[in-house]
Amino acid sequence: MSVKTIEWKNDQVVMLDQRLLPHKEIIRVCRNYKEVAAAIRQMIIRGAPAIGVAAAMGVALGALQSKTKDFDREFEQIVLTLAKTRPTAVNLFWALERMRKVYSENRDRGVDAVKRLLKIEAQKIYKEDIAANKEMGKYGAELLADAKHVMTHCNAGALATAGYGTALGVLRALKESGKKFDVFVNETRPFLQGARLTAWELKKEKIATTLITDSMAGYLMQIGRVDAIVVGCDRVAANGDVANKIGTYTIAVLARRHGIPFYVAGPTSSIDLNCPTGEDIPIEQRNPKEVSHMFGKALAPKGISIFNPAFDVTSQELISAIITEKGIIRPPYQQNIASHVSH
Amino acid sequence: MSVKTIEWKNDQVVMLDQRLLPHKEIIRVCRNYKEVAAAIRQMIIRGAPAIGVAAAMGVALGALQSKTKDFDREFEQIVLTLAKTRPTAVNLFWALERMRKVYSENRDRGVDAVKRLLKIEAQKIYKEDIAANKEMGKYGAELLADAKHVMTHCNAGALATAGYGTALGVLRALKESGKKFDVFVNETRPFLQGARLTAWELKKEKIATTLITDSMAGYLMQIGRVDAIVVGCDRVAANGDVANKIGTYTIAVLARRHGIPFYVAGPTSSIDLNCPTGEDIPIEQRNPKEVSHMFGKALAPKGISIFNPAFDVTSQELISAIITEKGIIRPPYQQNIASHVSH
């Protein structure tokens, strides 16, 4: 399957509009960095690694188009605009930091050289992400080798990355290794990334998939229908706490009760050693309408208060292992994450 | 507030169409028992106690309209049709059993007398249900006296009963007792009884209400925003296991992890001593379209497999107390339920 989540094409950033999937496959062309920022904010593109790639391409695009005499000031403005789009996934800030490093290390070579190098760096981040996903896939497929029934939450697929996926990359690799298994997909309210995106990806991949509401996950575990759980992540704290899509924590608590292994897959760019614990990870609050409306129509009474946190934090003690492109991290996470990253 | 969930009016059964709430308040008139059965099946009326009342009124209506010479055969047919509507809530079978008892104990007094007595019995079941809810409210309000933030799942309100409600009856009584508190309402996918019905009832009642998706409940407990949970029930087994709306089990597991009391409210007609444990309670599977579609539009890719159990079972060990019209049942449930019912 080739899902083109995002591409650099003719010096523009081209992305699949994920808000319209699975019904319509519409390509959006971002003509400048502000359009890239808007696309991230509006969730035309979403998923921590994909947001990182988009931000990097946004910086490259903004720099390339800069015509001002004060390039340095505009560069700061571009980075700032992209940094403000979404707060939780650390891959965004990681990618901006990489772009900023290319800028500052090469600034003395002149603006044209910097522009060229930023464009190269964005493409490099893109390619590295796909390669990292494939590595994660191999490691994860070994961990899940005996699982017949796998559950996943949200979308950590090709659509959440430059391609292949983190959690779904593991499932792709598992299938490529010849294993037979099926997948329960939590619909993932309110944005329905599971129903709309993961179900769409797995169907294209011809992996047996059953869609459930988030509230059914506990029942499935209770009746013995889940052997393993694999999800992506938006930020891993230094102690192993993981921020991921709202509802992930609940799945992890249920998994613990039922003795089901709970795996997190993400590139090392999702690890934030500057966050000591999950409590230090900012949790994005999104528009209440994501909860109260569907297809523009109200689901709930008018004027009702709504709480819409987009992420939650899963305590490290609930996580069986973290899969990165460098291998498998096991508890105790505090020390093993530090040594894993420095390797 | 006066929500007229169901009424016996001019020898017809009149009900509020709960599928259209909160946007439209449309009254449906059931002109015969088959229409009552269809209304239960289609969830025009839902909620265990309300289904029981509807079934009783359906029997009375069917009997009253019977013109056949073989009244006994038709009576059986009426009871059977209503019994087949939904399998999980025991109140349905309990109400049918009460109607059958009136029939068999008075059959020798002639068909006209039986018809008259069945009509009286249905009204009695209706009135008793409201009275039971008010009793439950008093007992429950004492239990919840110190709770500032209460969570509920699905709708166990006036709409789920003849009036006042079980879990929401407790919240109504709590408000009447002058306590200040607010309520988190889980939207309750797939049918959205929380978003559509509970939010609507609590708003009318002027109780401070915040709507969340089911996947957010764990996060709220984690950040210390929930003091107590109260839900209704569709069937209580002899050992205290409780079948209730899908997702209830998950909430109870989360509550246990966070040391939050988890209360179940239901009339003694929800207790089924013939079910030794929750494993003996049949779990209804409903139409996959409830999960895959909203407002007639697809949420997921075409042809995806869907699992749609309408209920789950919460193990008795996760339940802090069961509130009935007779008082509070505490663990150990096996013996305390038996003595509670026989009192």
Q: What total of structural domains would you count in chain B? A: 2
pLDDT number for residue B28: 97
Looking at the partner chain, which of A187, A192, A215 has a beta carbon nearest the beta carbon of B250?
A215
Q: Is B221 exposed, middle or buried (0-12, 13-18, 19+ CB in 10 A)?
A: buried
**B86 plus B156 within the same structural domain:** no
Task: Tell me which chain B residues have a C-beta less than 8 angstroms from the C-beta of A257.
Answer: 253
Most B CBs within 10 Å, among A250, A284, A287, to test the B interface: A250
Q: Which domain holds residue B327?
A: 136-342
Looking at the partner chain, which of B23, B210, B257 has a beta carbon nearest the beta carbon of A253?
B257
Closest Cα of chain A to B18: distance in Å? 13
B1 assigned to some structural domain: no
Distance, in Å, from the CA atom of A263 to the CA atom of A323, rounded to the nearest integer, reads 7
Statement: residue A343 has pLDDT above 90: no
CB pairs under 8 A between A and B: 175
CATH code: domain of residue B115: 1.20.120.420
In single-letter form, the type of residue at position A126 comes to Y
**A159 plus A240 within the same structural domain:** yes
pLDDT number for residue A2: 65
**B43 plus B71 within the same structural domain:** yes
**B185 plus B213 within the same structural domain:** yes
Q: Tell me which H or E stretch contains A264.
A: strand A262-265
- Output the CA torsion sign for A221, A227, A232, A236: positive
Give yes or no for a cis peptide into A190 (omega within 30° of 0).
yes
A1 assigned to some structural domain: no
Q: Which two tokens stand for residue A104?
A: 């500052």
Closest Cα of chain A to B342: distance in Å? 32
Q: Answer whether B215 sits within 8 Å of A188, measured CB to CB.
A: yes
Q: Answer whether A291 sits within 8 Å of B212, measured CB to CB.
A: yes
Most A CBs within 10 Å, among B213, B284, B295, B305, to test the A interface: B213
**B140 plus B127 within the same structural domain:** no
Distance, in Å, from the CA atom of B276 to the CA atom of A158, rounded to the nearest integer, reads 48
Tally: H helices and E strands in chain A: 12, 17
Q: Answer whether A304 sits within 8 Å of B23, measured CB to CB.
A: no
A172 assigned to some structural domain: yes
Domain boundary residue among A132, A149, A167?
A132
Domain boundary residue among A94, A116, A132?
A132
**B157 plus B197 within the same structural domain:** yes
Per-residue pLDDT reduced to its tens digit, A279-298: 999 999 999 999 999 999 99
**A180 plus A112 within the same structural domain:** no
Q: Tell me which H or E stretch contains A158.
A: none
Looking at the partner chain, which of A200, A213, A254 has a beta carbon nearest the beta carbon of B253?
A254
Domain boundary residue among B107, B132, B157?
B132
**B310 plus B217 within the same structural domain:** yes
Angle between helical axes of B48-65 and B33-41 (0-180°, round to 10): 160
Q: Which two tokens stand for residue B343?
A: 């009192």
Per-residue pLDDT reduced to its tens digit, A40-95: 999 999 999 999 999 999 999 999 999 999 999 999 999 999 999 999 999 999 99
Task: Tell me which chain B residues have a C-beta less than 8 angstroms from the C-beta of A309.
Answer: 216, 219
Q: For residue B58, which phi and psi values (nearest 5 degrees)?
A: -60, -45
Per-residue pLDDT of chain B (343 residues; tens, 9 = 90+): 467 999 999 999 999 999 999 999 999 999 999 999 999 999 999 999 999 999 999 999 999 999 999 999 999 999 999 999 999 999 999 999 999 999 999 999 999 999 999 999 999 999 999 999 999 999 999 999 999 999 999 999 999 999 999 999 999 999 999 999 999 999 999 999 999 999 999 999 999 999 999 999 999 999 999 999 999 999 999 999 999 999 999 999 999 999 999 999 999 999 999 999 999 999 999 999 999 999 999 999 999 999 999 999 999 999 999 999 999 999 999 999 999 998 7
pLDDT number for residue B343: 77
Task: Tell me which chain A residues have a C-beta less than 8 angstroms from the C-beta of B23.
Answer: 298
Q: Is B188 exposed, middle or buried (0-12, 13-18, 19+ CB in 10 A)?
A: buried
Statement: residue A264 has pLDDT above 70: yes
**B212 plus B230 within the same structural domain:** yes
CATH code: domain of residue A172: 3.40.50.10470
Instruction: Confirm if B151 and B217 have CB atoms less than 8 A apart.
Output: yes
pLDDT number for residue B3: 75
Per-residue pLDDT reduced to its tens digit, A138-171: 999 999 999 999 999 999 999 999 999 999 999 9
B336 assigned to some structural domain: yes
pLDDT number for residue B270: 98
3-class secondary-structure state, position A287: coil
**A107 plus A223 within the same structural domain:** no
Residues 6+ apart with CB under 8 A from A117: A102, A106, A109
Residues 6+ apart with CB under 8 A from B181: B144, B147, B148, B149, B150, B171, B174, B175, B207, B208
Task: Tell me which chain A residues have a C-beta less than 8 angstroms from the C-beta of B208.
Answer: 305
Looking at the partner chain, which of B211, B246, B295 has a beta carbon nearest the beta carbon of A304?
B211
Instruction: Confirm if A134 and A164 have CB atoms less than 8 A apart.
Output: yes
Q: For residue A23, which phi and psi values (nearest 5 degrees)?
A: -85, -40
Task: Tell me which chain B residues have a C-beta less than 8 angstroms from the C-beta of A253.
Answer: 218, 253-254, 257
**A143 plus A127 within the same structural domain:** no
Q: Which residues of A are catalytic?
A: 234
Closest Cα of chain A to B186: distance in Å? 10
A55 assigned to some structural domain: yes
Task: Tell me which chain A residues have a C-beta less than 8 angstroms from the C-beta of B214.
Answer: 189, 213-215, 247
**B196 plus B270 within the same structural domain:** yes
Per-residue pLDDT reduced to its tens digit, A306-334: 999 999 999 999 999 999 999 999 999 99
